[in-house]
Amino acid sequence: MKTYRAFVLTFEGDVIQSVDLVCATEENAKSMAEQLVDVHPVELWDGPRRIARFEPKH
Enumerate residues 6+ apart whose C-beta is below 8 A from 32.
6, 21, 23
Q: How many structural domains is the chain composed of?
A: 1
Local confidence band at 34 (pLDDT 50, 70, 90 cut-offs)? very high
41, pLDDT greater than 90: yes
Instruction: Evaluate the CA torsion angle 55, 45, 5, 48 in order and state its sign.
Output: negative
Per-residue pLDDT, 53: 97
Mean pLDDT confidence for 23-36: 97
- The whole domain housing 44 covers 2-54
CA contacts within 13 A on the Cβ side of 17 = 11
58, pLDDT greater than 90: no
For the stretch 5-20, pLDDT in tens is 999 999 899 999 999 9
29, pLDDT greater than 80: yes
The whole-model pTM stands at: 0.93
